[in-house]
Amino acid sequence: MPGYFDVTIETHFCAAHALRDYKGTTEPMHGHNFRVVVTVTGKRVDKAGMAIDFLDLKPVIDEEVGRLHYGFLNENVEEFREGKLSPSAENIAYVLFKRIQKRLPKGIAMNSVLVGESPGCSATYRERG
């Protein structure tokens, strides 16, 4: 088959954050029920018809998203500690993309990570068209 197969898993986490350099200051700490949608891509399927088994992908995503769950992102997540990235939806998507990408099996590539802060408001990170 000449096309690609996208495999998507949706999950969520609850956390607090305070954006740094937000309109000249650090915004007050507040929380969200973040929505996360991870999509990976493969060119081929196995004999069972799968590019990647959901049962293999889901634990990787759950572990990476679990690092963010029920914490204050600015303090509890290395990538967002003082002097590093501000914990925006865009940067959360970026961090999850990079960490999950390192753990994918051969033949499976990251497509995108979408992070939603509230209904109708989300940011997506991807590295290819």
pLDDT in tens, 45-81: 999 999 999 999 999 999 999 999 999 999 999 999 9
Which pair of structure tokens corresponds to residue 92?
């959360």
Inform me whether the pLDDT recorded for 1 exceeds 70: no
Q: Quick one: pLDDT at residue 63?
A: 98
On the CB side of 107, how many CA atoms lie within 13 Å of its CA?
9
Please name every residue paired with 120 in a beta bridge, in sequence order, or none if there are none.
none
The two tokens of residue 61 are 């995503």
17-39 confidence digits (pLDDT tens): 999 999 999 999 999 999 999 99
What integer pLDDT is reported at residue 84 of this predicted model? 86
Q: Tell me which residue range forms the domain holding 28.
A: 5-125
Percent of all residues in the chain with a pLDDT value above 70, rounded to a whole number: 98
The CATH number that applies at residue 119 is 3.30.479.10
Q: How many domains does the chain have?
A: 1
